[in-house]
């Protein structure tokens, strides 16, 4: 019996490669020192860190923190979540990107677009769904990064992205009108928000409206302080006032509300209310929950999240990589590493009750303008956010909702892509169609469906272009024979086959040319449908007592046609440089360059 087992083992080892060797071969590229340094960028820049960088990183981190704290509270409001969840989302992204991030300027955290997309699916179902969406989004992004599938975002063109971003900005600003005017309402959708405003016109609160509009005006004025003239000292003062404008607005509004409430015993503004103090709990994401007495299993929660499981990862990757490229200053960006960093940020964030996060253009710009030197600036931001959660939550109670609405609306002014629309119109006017289609569809149908509509229309444009090749005619007289040369300007796929046949026959019937030459110098390959249609084309041309010549077709295309109908095509391919020699020689000679075994 032992001998039989040994024989069986020998047979197996001869039939299959050794498992250990196979695993070693597959994993060899993943566990090298080079890969370790590539996937953990902190191992590259931290050993070379210089003490002189520390002050710049701390200043930049503080500047970003003064921006992210009011934004985090505001974006949590957009997602219909309590304010602390916006801050939970902010600090974990800073710590994770410190280790895995490859661009010093990028900051990961809550953004307006992600908050709006979260609200569309989990705004009415509870915070557990928002946390689970962060976990699933992180897993999807990490999977995309590990499998190098970042190319999927390339199917979202610039016009579609511009339309989506503009629609998101308009939708977010519209959703804040209820808080700006102090009227009741829940929905953040574009149409519903404005319908709600008109239905509650009599309920508009005067002082909330005054405070909200004043906040917007003040923010726009402070935005221009960076352009202040004068000596270097005044320019630096103006620069840092601009960078901290959101914090200035929120602090001023909170102080005003506190003075009026506790000193003057009046409360003219609607306030944010209680914010849960302390650090976020570290626990597993909720894989099941109970809502309104109904128990939801993991699969039911996933079903409830719906299409957001696809759109959230795509939008997050699109935003984050676009921001990294914008601040790379010509350096190559490792898209795979950025997706790995973003995926881990969302997964880790879900363990501290975070909603989905991605790169923030606003805070990344603040980081860059503040002179950040390394990713260590993110640690400063994370620490300040944690201190705010531990020490300042009582102060958050007095933040007026109108002030937060003003902060959000002022930020949205600069997200509407007016310059992109002008650029598209100037460059290629037909591209304005997918942009406007995306914009309108996002406003009327919602961001996710609007994005799908925009991508669909853009793909239709691409399909139309590849299905309608240009055929350039050129009529010659060579050795007393009328010759029609037709040059196809692009490759051929099945959707272009009938259109090509129609154009060739249309040109051929205009005059009685004895010889028709189909120039294939731009055709790399053909498929079965094209080959079948070309068979019919050769037969139709032959029925009219004319000759069709395939000139300068590459080997791949020739082989495909020969496999379809060898006897029909074998004498029709010619590769001579000059057309005159082909016409004078006639067409009895077989093409010597085509192998007989095709």
Q: What is the CATH number of the domain that holds 535?
A: 3.30.750.24
**Same-domain check for residues 542 and 474:** yes
On whether both 314 and 440 belong to a single domain, the answer is yes
Mean pLDDT of 556-570: 87
Judgement on whether residues 437 and 477 belong to the same structural domain of the protein = no
For residue 563, the Cα-to-chain-centroid distance in whole angstroms is 43
CA nearest neighbour of 189 among 124, 126, 132: 124
Last residue of a domain, one of 433, 459, 485: 459
Same domain, 451 and 502: no
pTM of the predicted structure, to 2 decimals: 0.76
- 286 lies in some domain: no
Which residue is listed with tokens 């511009």? Answer: 162
pLDDT of 138 strictly over 90: yes
Whether residue 357 lies inside any domain: the answer is yes
Same domain, 553 and 516: yes
In a domain, 10, yes or no: no
Sign (positive/negative) of CA torsion 25, 27, 31, 36? positive
The reply to whether 279 falls in a domain is no
Query: Within its chain, how far is the Cα of 387 from the centroid?
Result: 32
Asked if 112 contacts 161 with a C-beta cutoff of 8 angstroms, the reply is no
143/208 same-domain check: yes
Does residue 516 sit in the same domain as residue 450?
no
Whether residues 408 and 555 fall in one domain? no
- Do 398 and 475 lie in one domain? The reply is no
Q: What is the per-residue pLDDT for 204?
A: 92
Q: Which of 436, 459, 482 is the last residue of a domain?
A: 459
Q: Are 482 and 450 in contact (CB under 8 A)?
A: no
Question: Which residue would you say has higher pLDDT here, 20 or 83?
Answer: 83
Helices and strands in the chain, H and E counts: 29, 9
**pLDDT, position 597:** 42
Percent of the chain at pLDDT exceeding 90 = 16
Residue 471 in tokens: 């055929």
Give 553 or 154, the one with higher predicted confidence.
553
pLDDT of residue 344: 94
Q: Sort 241 into a burial class: Cβ within 10 Å, 0-12 / 13-18 / 19+.
A: middle
- Residue 123 confidence (pLDDT): 63
Q: Report whether 489 contacts 522 (CB < 8 A).
A: yes
Q: Is 201 within the bounds of a domain?
A: yes
- Residue 513 pLDDT class (50, 70, 90 cuts): low
pLDDT-wise least confident of 173-187, 346-360, 575-589: 575-589
Out of 435, 459, 483, a domain closes at 459
HSE-up of residue 35 (Cα within 13 Å, Cβ side): 7
- Host domain of residue 502: 469-597
Residues 437 and 479 in one domain: no
pLDDT tens-digit map of 301-313? 898 888 888 888 9
525: closest CA among 516, 534, 513, 538? 534
Domain annotation covers residue 272: no
Compute CA 331 distance to the chain's CA centroid, rounded to the nearest angstrom: 20
* Of residues 260 and 152, more confidently modeled: 260
Residue 5 resides in a domain: no
pLDDT tens figures, 173-218:
898 899 899 998 877 788 888 999 999 999 999 999 999 999 999 9
Domain count across the chain: 2
Task: Establish if 28 belongs to a structural domain.
Answer: no
442 and 525 belong to one structural domain: no
Task: Please say if the pLDDT value at position 399 is more than 80.
Answer: yes
Residues 211 and 322 in one domain: yes
């Amino acid at each position: 019996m032992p001998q039989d087992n040994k024989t069986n083992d020998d047979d197996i080892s001869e039939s299959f490669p050794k498992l250990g060797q196979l695993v070693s071969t597959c994993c060899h590229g993943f566990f090298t020192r080079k890969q370790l340094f590539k996937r953990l960028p902190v191992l590259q820049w931290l050993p070379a860190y210089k003490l002189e960088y520390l002050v710049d990183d701390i200043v930049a981190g503080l500047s970003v923190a003064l921006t992210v704290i009011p934004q985090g509270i505001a974006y949590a409001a957009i997602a219909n979540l309590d304010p602390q969840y916006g801050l939970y989302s902010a600090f974990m992204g800073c710590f994770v990107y410190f280790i895995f991030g490859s661009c010093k300027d990028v900051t990961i955290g809550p953004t307006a677009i992600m908050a709006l997309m979260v609200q569309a699916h989990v705004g009415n179902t509870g915070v557990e769904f928002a946390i689970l969406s962060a976990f699933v989004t992180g897993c999807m992004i990490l999977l995309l990064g590990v499998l190098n599938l970042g190319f999927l975002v390339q199917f979202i063109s610039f016009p579609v992205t511009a339309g989506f971003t503009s629609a998101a900005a308009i939708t977010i600003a519209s959703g804040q009108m209820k808080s700006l005017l102090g009227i009741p309402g829940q929905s953040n959708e574009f149409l519903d928000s404005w319908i709600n405003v008109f239905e509650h016109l009599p309920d508009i609160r005067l002082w909330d409206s005054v405070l909200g509009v004043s906040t917007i005006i003040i923010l726009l004025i402070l935005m221009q302080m960076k352009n202040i003239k004068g000596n270097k000292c005044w320019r630096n003062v103006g620069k840092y006032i601009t960078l901290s404008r959101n914090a200035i607005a929120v602090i001023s509004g909170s102080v005003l509300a506190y003075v009026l409430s506790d000193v003057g015993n009046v409360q003219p503004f609607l306030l944010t209310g209680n914010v849960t103090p302390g650090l976020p709990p570290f626990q597993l994401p909720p894989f099941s929950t109970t809502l309104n007495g109904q128990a939801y299993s993991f699969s039911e929660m996933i079903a409830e999240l719906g299409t957001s499981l696809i759109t959230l990862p795509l939008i997050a990757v699109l935003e984050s990589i676009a921001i990294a490229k914008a601040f790379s200053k010509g350096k190559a960006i490792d898209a795979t590493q950025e997706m790995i960093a973003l995926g881990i940020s969302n997964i880790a964030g879900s363990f501290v009750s975070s909603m989905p996060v991605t790169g923030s253009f606003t805070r990344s710009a603040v980081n860059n303008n503040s002179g950040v030197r390394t990713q260590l600036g993110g640690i400063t931001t994370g620490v300040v956010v944690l201190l705010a959660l531990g020490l300042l939550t009582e102060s958050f109670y007095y933040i007026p909702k109108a002030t937060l609405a003003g902060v959000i609306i002022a930020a949205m002014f600069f997200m509407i892509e007016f310059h992109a629309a002008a650029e598209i119109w100037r460059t290629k006017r037909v591209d304005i169609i997918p942009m406007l289609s995306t914009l309108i569809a996002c406003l009327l149908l919602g961001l996710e469906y609007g994005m799908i509509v925009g991508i669909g229309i853009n793909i239709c444009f691409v399909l139309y272009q590849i299905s309608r090749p240009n055929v350039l005619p050129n009529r010659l007289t060579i050795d007393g024979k009328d010759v029609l040369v037709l040059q196809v300007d692009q490759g051929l796929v099945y959707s272009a086959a009938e259109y090509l046949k129609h154009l060739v026959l249309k040109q051929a019937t205009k005059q009685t040319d004895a010889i028709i030459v189909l120039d294939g110098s731009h055709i790399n390959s053909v498929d079965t449908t094209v080959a079948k249609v070309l068979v019919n084309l050769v037969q139709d041309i032959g029925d009219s007592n004319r000759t069709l010549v395939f000139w300068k077709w590459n080997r791949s295309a020739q082989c495909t046609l020969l496999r379809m109908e060898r006897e029909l095509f074998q004498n029709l391919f010619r590769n001579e440089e000059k057309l005159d020699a082909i016409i004078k020689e006639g067409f009895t000679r077989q093409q010597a360059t085509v192998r007989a075994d095709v």
